[in-house]
Amino acid sequence: MKKLIISTILLFCVIYLTDGQRKTINLPDLPGYVTLKCDFHIHTIFSDGNVWPTVRIDEALRDGLDAIAITDHLEYTPKKDYIPVDHNAAWSISETYAKERNLILIHGTEITRKMPPGHFNALFIKDANLLAVDSVMDAYKAAIKQGAFLQWNHPGWRSQEPDGIPKLYPAHKIMLEKGWIHGIEYFNDSEFYPLVMTFCKQYNLTVTANSDVHGIISERYPQPDYTNRPMTLVFAKERNHDSLKEAMFAGRTLVYFRDILAGKEEYAKPYFYQCISVSKPFHQTEKSIYFEVVNNSDIPFYLINGIAGTPGSITLAANATTRIVAGSKVQFPLVYDVRNIITGEKEVLKVELKY
């Protein structure tokens, strides 16, 4: 028996997630919805990526995702001398593999053109080969015909927009009029585009964040220094493909990368309150009142601009309880700006702490 336990003790340091295990990302649901963690922009060897499609499923599970789209380029296939072009190959290879692992796989592809209109992902399609046509507008039309959600990728990508700022060209205005832009990336790989917040409000677009990974995801976002890959949080009615699609068209998303959360205030505000809870004071002196805030999420929150008598700034560390000491005469609720919850091009979320 003693032997058995000793070996148990030694074993513990070699436990890593293996095939079929999905990390729990500690992020809450919204009332009435389940929070699906998604990456809608991923490459494989079937365009200019470096891994076989099933690797993307394994990576997604290990990273705790619920859904991914593999979106190889239609127009850029640099490995074609060795791998004959079939835009549905990654989908065929992965479909059953994902199903057996309870990962929602979205059939997608990237329509890859010069700016304007730039790169767009067609998501929830049925046959990518039908989108491989000359005219870009014909490609979008073919996607729409399949019921696609069209996502404008990295709209301020510096290879296409040297100043890093997304611009609405006539082509985009035409697409908007036709209802052919449904979503837009705020985070892509290590870039982000503040102006996207404004576009989302003006044109009622769904905000997304994706990795656009070409290499190995665990090397691009190495542990333990970095916390997570860029991901879109989708508030779906249920955890399945069709509910996810419905939520995407309905715009129920926030985006999450490193320690930043961004999106519409309508989702960001209740989400913050789902993450934290404020205790009654546990200690009081003549001068001070002591209470605690529990942050039950993987995201630290940086509160700033506290008023006199309260701490000027507070870090609510992730998965931790933070003690707050305020003046005994202070009026609740305490009001703060959350520096790392972005709700507009130049706005962060304003919150209230009360018990």
Using CB under 8 A as the binding rule, the residues of this chain from 206 to 245 that contact a second copy are 215-216, 218-219, 222, 224-227
Stretch binding a second copy (CB under 8 A), from 50-58, 110-118, 145-153, 168-176: 50-58
Pick 162 or 170: Cβ nearer a second copy = 162
Binding-residue pattern over the window 307 to 346 for a second copy, x denoting contact by CB under 8 A: --------x-xxxxxxx-x-------------xx-x--xx
52 is a contact residue toward a second copy (CB under 8 A): yes
Joined tokens for residue 144 = 């729409």
Pick 5 or 308: Cβ nearer a second copy = 5
350 is a contact residue toward a second copy (CB under 8 A): no
Pick 180 or 208: Cβ nearer a second copy = 208
Joined tokens for residue 317 = 């560390």
The reply to whether omega before 333 is within 30° of 0 (cis) is yes
97 is a contact residue toward a second copy (CB under 8 A): no
* Neighbouring C-beta atoms of residue 147, cutoff 10 Å: 13
Joined tokens for residue 93 = 């290879």
* Residue of 169, 249, 282, 355 that binds a second copy (CB under 8 A): 282
Contact 59, 218 (CB under 8 A): yes
Contact 64, 24 (CB under 8 A): yes
* Residue of 169, 173, 283, 313 that binds a second copy (CB under 8 A): 283
Nearest distance, CB of residue 335 and a second copy, angstroms: 19
Largest CA distance in the chain: 78
Stretch binding a second copy (CB under 8 A), from 141-149, 175-183, 229-237, 253-261: 253-261
What is the rounded distance in angstroms from the CA atom of residue 63 to the CA atom of residue 19?
12
167 is a contact residue toward a second copy (CB under 8 A): no
* Residue of 42, 51, 60, 200 that binds a second copy (CB under 8 A): 51
Nearest distance, CB of residue 19 and a second copy, angstroms: 8
1 is a contact residue toward a second copy (CB under 8 A): yes
Nearest distance, CB of residue 159 and a second copy, angstroms: 17
* Residue of 79, 113, 167, 201 that binds a second copy (CB under 8 A): 79
Torsion-angle region of residue 250: left (phi > 0), alpha (psi -120 to 50) or beta? alpha
Determine how β-strand 260-263 pairs with β-strand 334-344: parallel
Binding-residue pattern over the window 8 to 27 for a second copy, x denoting contact by CB under 8 A: xxxxxxxxxxx-xxxxx-x-
DSSP annotation of 14 reads G
Pick 80 or 173: Cβ nearer a second copy = 80
Give the closest residue to 119 by CA, choosing from 178, 189, 217. 189
**Total interface residues for a second copy by CB under 8 A:** 74
DSSP annotation of 164 reads S
Stretch binding a second copy (CB under 8 A), from 69-77, 78-86, 174-182, 199-207: 78-86
What is the rounded distance in angstroms from the CA atom of residue 112 to the CA atom of residue 77?
11
Nearest distance, CB of residue 100 and a second copy, angstroms: 6
* Residue of 28, 194, 270, 309 that binds a second copy (CB under 8 A): 194
Facing residues of 150 across strands? 122
Burial 133-142 (b: 16+ CB within 10 A, else e): eeebeebbeb
Joined tokens for residue 190 = 């290590």
Nearest distance, CB of residue 295 and a second copy, angstroms: 8
Facing residues of 303 across strands? 314, 338
Is residue 97 classed as helix, strand or coil in its secondary structure? helix
